[in-house]
Amino acid sequence: MNKTHWVKKIRERFPQVKWLENEPMSRHTTFRIGGAAELFVSPTVSQAQEILAYCREHGICVTILGNGSNVLVGDRGIPGLVLSFGREASGIAVEEIRKDGIAAARMTAEAGALLSQAAGAAAERGLTGMEFAAGIPGTVGGAMIMNAGAYGGEMKDIAQSVRVLLPDGSIEEWNRGEMGLVYRGSRMMRQGVVVLSVTLLLAQGEKETVRRTMQQLRDRRLEKQPLEYPSAGSTFKRPEGNFAGKLIMDAGLRGYAVGDAAISEKHCGFVINKGEATAADVRKLMEEVSDRVEKESGVRLEPEVRFVGEF
């Protein structure tokens, strides 16, 4: 099916959703970098299931994104359809329970709910366990796929179950033991399934203590991280027994730049977009930094950022 034909057909089949053609992905990534998606849509969870079934049936290539906070989209864009779980798929529900005789709660969040939204909902109810996630700029779905974490906490600490859409179109619910959560990875990532919703188990805490801890972690982020610049967060995975930022700093690369892509002087673990950086700039910078760090320390840095689209 040629582009003009498939775009027309899918728009006719799903007229109730907003379709964007040749949509610049720089508008949908925290790096503010990326070429155009042939077709872009941000549906509800139920609409997404129908759209994905149609794409499977007709052989249409689909790329799934959340908040675009951990990706680098190529300058040549993304062929096919980009389906983004965002505001339309951001429902959050909380059920009070008792776990081992202690007051607790189950929070079920759709894939497009922002972690900050979910953390805020937890704080409002005095639920503890999500403090680490308050300042992470991703969605719940994306966070589960990569087992996002910060300040000593990870999604695996609070995940109870996840509802996933398999490549064959079937839906399954995986419990904690079936998710295969590891450092910045999961079974969902390895098998390429689509996360539809996540259920988290949180403990009852004290509302003011939870709020205060979240604010302290936000303040620490603001102080330590270059949040004034577009970035994708930590660019490299943490090497075992070390820190990527320290290895980069020790290699003399603080502030090192390729075009407008640069190693942050505030935190060497971040590659930042100083204004007009391209995906090619960022990728070249990452490769040069990895080579230099390996030469200086013997440690090869692995990207934490996911490369998407055509470079």
* Residues forming the active site: 184, 234, 304
Whole-angstrom distance, CA of residue 84 vs CA of residue 77 = 15
**Sequence-distant (≥ 6) Cβ neighbours of residue 256 within 8 angstroms:** 262, 263, 285, 288, 289
Contacts of 24 (CB under 8 A, 6+ apart): 34, 35, 36
Q: What gap in Å lies between CA 41 and CA 44, rounded to an integer?
A: 10
